[in-house]
Structure 1
Amino acid sequence: MTTDASKGRLVIAVDGPAASGKGTLARRLAAHYAMPYLDTGLLYRMVARAVLEAGHDIRDAEAAGAIVSTFDESAFAEDSLRGREIGEAASVVAAMPAVRSGLIARQRRFAAQSGGAVLDGRDIGTVICPQARAKLFVTATPEVRAARRHKELAGRGEAATFEGILADIRRRDARDSGRSDAPLKAADDAVILDTSALTIEEAVAKAIAIVDARRAG
């Protein structure tokens, strides 16, 4: 289990559903505190990409379980891990207990760095770093999140409708929250940060205030 409080090391756990803004906030927090940052969602996307490139069905839990312990994180170009299709595939493999358990050690090693770390994902505050000193659960309404994702995909030239993206987000929310292993939920000691009506700068300022309060108290 990752611990940091006893030695004063700061670990910041940022959880939340898809397109809530957690990745943006986590990156900004890492820059603000000069700490290493891990987007744990990319690990699941790597597993999904490896499963697909090996010719397996994305729902093949046995194949995914075999791949999770051997894949090379440096072998994937980040561009190949972005996009709507791979995001859906990642959500499927993330519901597999063998995949989640296989990635725990990688995430905890990152969090155990002497200078602390910032991690974002779905179960950082509940499973990966339950002793993290600062925990945020970042959320927004499904409609706001769909609008953000639609804008992001349009900026990359990907064709997608708002209605289709909203349906994807609701489906992913149900899958992430309903899985038996490490379901998406706020840790009991996490601070809820709803970004629905906030600009990026407003959300960052609130996130920094939350972390500073945890560091002080």
Structure 2
Amino acid sequence: MMSDVKVVTIDGPSGSGKGTLARRLANRLGFHLLDSGALYRLTALAAQKAGIALDAPEVAALAESLNVRFDADGAAYLDDVCVDDVLRTEQTGAMASQIAARPDVRTALLARQKAFAVAPGLIADGRDMGTVVFPDAPAKLFLDASAEIRANRRYKQLIERGLSANLSALVDEIRIRDDRDRNRAVAPLRPATDALVIDSSDIAIEAVEAQMLEYLRARGIC
């Protein structure tokens, strides 16, 4: 990581709001944005496209050679085809969670993630940004919320997009993913020891952003 690049990490479980807040902070500060979860989702989609099982050793090599890019609005492209809609589905998220537990895949994507740290700064959104990828980052945040709250948020998003959804099933899926992410042997989901932990369960997004900005100002980030 370049010494003159300000890196802010935002970790947390799925549905905690970290992606939305990472984009808001990146836009406000004029920083670059790393959606690390998208890289795992793209790897999973690439494996599916190639007919490779998620537990096959070839997945790690696939992660190293991904042909992916993001446009200015954050839309993801795999082999020059926009896959943003399928990328954000619960099914793709579950596949990504499976391969994210693999040490070889995490190693394959580590250098690619670190390369996002360029001037003037980076907002890195993920699950191990502050603990593994950028352990020396000057500002670390961990955003959490109850499984029920996160499932309800996801339910509303799906309904607004005209998709069918089952709230109780979403709660179960989130709990299963949380358990997998928090108990995996490599880079488990947990706050860095020096991270500011914010529970967004009962706090409006504007209030959470205000807390984050206050924290970043105190550290000379903005």
Aligned residues: 210
**What runs of 5+ residues in structure 1 fail to find an aligned partner?**
none
1:18 equivalenced with 2:24 (yes/no): no
Cα drift, residue 170 of structure 1: 0.3
Which residue of the partner structure matches residue 204 of structure 1?
Answer: 209
Cα drift, residue 3 of structure 1: 5.6
Which residue of the partner structure matches residue 34 of structure 1?
Answer: 30
1:177 equivalenced with 2:182 (yes/no): yes
Return the alpha-carbon distance in structure 2 between the equivalents of residues 164 and 61 of structure 1.
28
Which residue of the partner structure matches residue 104 of structure 1?
Answer: 110
The structure with the largest strand share of the pair is 2
1:79 to 78, 85, 92: 85
Which residue of the partner structure matches residue 42 of structure 2?
Answer: 46
Contact 2:128/2:189 (CA < 8 Å) preserved in 1?
yes
Q: 1:28 to 1:207 in 2, by over 3 A?
A: same
The structure with the largest helix share of the pair is 1
What is the RMSD computed on CA atoms of the aligned residues? 1.3
1:67 equivalenced with 2:67 (yes/no): no
Q: Mean Cα displacement is larger for which, 17-26 or 150-159?
A: 150-159
Cα drift, residue 209 of structure 1: 1.0
Cα drift, residue 80 of structure 1: 2.9
Cα drift, residue 61 of structure 1: 3.6
Contact 2:61/2:108 (CA < 8 Å) preserved in 1?
no
Runs of 4+ in 1 over 3 A off after TM superposition: none
The Cα offsets for residues 89-142 of structure 1, whole Å up to 9 and x where unpaired, read as: 11111111111111100110102x121211100000001101111100000011
**What runs of 5+ residues in structure 2 fail to find an aligned partner?**
70-76
Which residue of the partner structure matches residue 73 of structure 2?
Answer: none
Cα drift, residue 198 of structure 1: 0.8
- SS of the residue corresponding to residue 194 of structure 2 reads coil
- SS of the residue corresponding to residue 110 of structure 1 reads coil
Return the alpha-carbon distance in structure 2 between the equivalents of residues 3 and 71 of structure 1.
24
Q: Mean Cα displacement is larger for which, 18-27 or 71-80?
A: 71-80
Alignment of 1:186-205 (within 5 A): 186-205=191-210
Return the alpha-carbon distance in structure 1 between the equivalents of residues 27 and 66 of structure 2.
28
1:155 equivalenced with 2:172 (yes/no): no
Contact 1:133/1:214 (CA < 8 Å) preserved in 2?
yes
Cα drift, residue 211 of structure 1: 1.2
Contact 2:6/2:119 (CA < 8 Å) preserved in 1?
no
Return the alpha-carbon distance in structure 2 between the equivalents of residues 211 and 90 of structure 1.
30
Identity of aligned residues (%): 43
Which residue of the partner structure matches residue 90 of structure 1?
Answer: 96
The Cα offsets for residues 157-190 of structure 1, whole Å up to 9 and x where unpaired, read as: 2222111000010000000011111110100000
Q: Letter of the aligned partner of 1:37 in structure 2?
A: L
